[in-house]
DNA sequence: GAGTTTTAGTTGCGAACGCAACAACCAGCG
DNA sequence: CGCTGGTTGTTGCGTTCGCAACTAAAACTC
């Protein structure tokens, strides 16, 4: 299987009790809040969150964008995005337009309908997110975000964006 | 901005910047670590985490257990569990046995093979979890777990168990 | 004890997924 | 140029998923 480390770097450790608690809590809580928000969107007749994030990234970019440039920030695999765009294009939210610089790929363009849907979804998404996270206050939230980002190896994100 | 609270229904609040940061971080980080561990299991030729959790719950119960009693702690829907058990039974990890108290359902019994697999998976699972969470130390982990549990509305879990 | 409601669990079906293979193009080098 | 290797994105296929409808048994009602 995997080649043994040259030195005694990783001795196949068992996570401490504290880490196991984090693991359990992270799984349960993220699934819980995620599910809560997804349910709110579904009940309002909207598509799932992944659609929103594609629309939002395109809107934020402000210009037609290559799938590969979307896939990375969205933590999504190319074939997943390919099929997601298939569906979204079929629904008229997005359009594949030619890319003259690189004929392998194309650019994804947000349609007016896509833009409208993203805004409509935000009207449900935002309150649902607020509701799902209501049990902590702002200072706890900042500390929680800091610890999560440290856990994920994310340095000092300065994101002042939606979602 | 919004000083109204006792008014009517839901004021449709927009989450604060701090809460939005939590939302983003929670999604990204939980997906990241989850994926890391799943990948380790897959590379070792093991089934996915949900199989482990079923095996572990059954082992922890120490006695054949009703699906409904498994579904709740696992945050899983009945039909999901039904098909998961289908596959696990087909692999000989679990057995459906009759339940004389309630003939609608049955009991799930861990087989020797199932027990062995759970142990074998833990040998990969544990180091993978440790590796995925290595960026925080124990005191940070405790604080993180506390905040997550508060966020999820989970009171004072005393879990001294694996996963 | 017949009739109704609730609960436990399964299943048919269409949609979505993961993987590995693939076509198409670019880029580098002889 | 022709060849090789890497990148971009798609697709065939088998598996899994989500929903709603379903069977069966229990529990509750009169």
Domain boundaries defined on chain A: 33-151
Residue-level pLDDT at B155 = 78
In A42-146 the beta strands, taken as DSSP E runs, fall at 94-98, 106-110
- Region B20-37: mean pLDDT is 96
Q: What are phi and psi of B44, to 5 degrees?
A: -85, 5
Residue-level pLDDT at B11 = 66
* Cα separation, B151 vs B154, whole angstroms: 8
Positions of chain C reached by protein Cβ under 7 A: 7-12, 16-21, 23-26
Q: Which residues contact A51 (CB under 8 A, 6 or more apart)?
A: A84, A88, A93, A117, A121
| Test mutation, A3, A10, A13, A22, chain B, max B CBs within 10 A | A22
Residue-level pLDDT at A155 = 78
Is A61 a residue whose pLDDT tops 60? yes
Whether the Cβ atoms of residue A58 and residue A110 lie closer than 8 Å to each other: yes
- Region B24-34: mean pLDDT is 96
A67-76, A82-91, B11-20: least confident range: B11-20
Residue-level pLDDT at B120 = 97
> Yes or no: is domain A33-151 CATH 1.10.10.10?
yes
Residue-level pLDDT at B22 = 97
In whole angstroms, how far apart are CA B68 and each of A32, B73, B82, B94?
19, 9, 10, 16
Number of H helices, E strands in chain A: 6, 2
Cβ contacts of B143 on chain A, cutoff 8 Å: 143, 147
Residue-level pLDDT at A70 = 95
A7-11, A148-152, B88-92, B133-137: least confident range: A7-11
* CATH number for the domain running over B22-145: 1.10.10.10
| Test mutation, A2, A5, A151, chain B, max B CBs within 10 A | A151
Rounded percentage of chain A residues whose pLDDT exceeds 90: 83
Q: pLDDT grade, residue A156 (50/70/90)?
A: low
pLDDT tens, position by position, A113-137? 999 999 999 999 999 999 999 999 9
Is A69 a residue whose pLDDT tops 70? yes
């Amino acid at each position: 299987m995997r080649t043994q480390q040259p030195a005694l770097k990783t001795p196949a450790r068992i996570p401490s009790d504290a880490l196991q608690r984090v693991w359990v809590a992270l799984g349960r809580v993220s699934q819980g809040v995620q599910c809560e928000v997804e349910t709110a969107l579904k009940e309002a007749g909207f598509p799932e969150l992944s659609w929103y994030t594609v629309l939002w990234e395109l809107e934020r970019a402000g210009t037609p964008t290559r799938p590969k440039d979307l896939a990375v920030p969205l933590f999504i695999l190319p074939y997943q995005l390919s099929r997601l765009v298939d569906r979204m294009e079929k629904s008229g939210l997005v359009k594949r337009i030619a890319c003259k610089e690189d004929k392998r790929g194309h650019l994804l363009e947000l349609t007016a309908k896509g833009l409208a849907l993203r805004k409509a979804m935000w009207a449900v998404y935002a309150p649902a997110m607020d509701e799902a996270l209501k049990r902590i206050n702002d200072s706890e939230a900042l500390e929680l975000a800091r610890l999560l980002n440290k856990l994920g190896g994310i340095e000092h994100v300065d994101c002042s964006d939606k979602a």
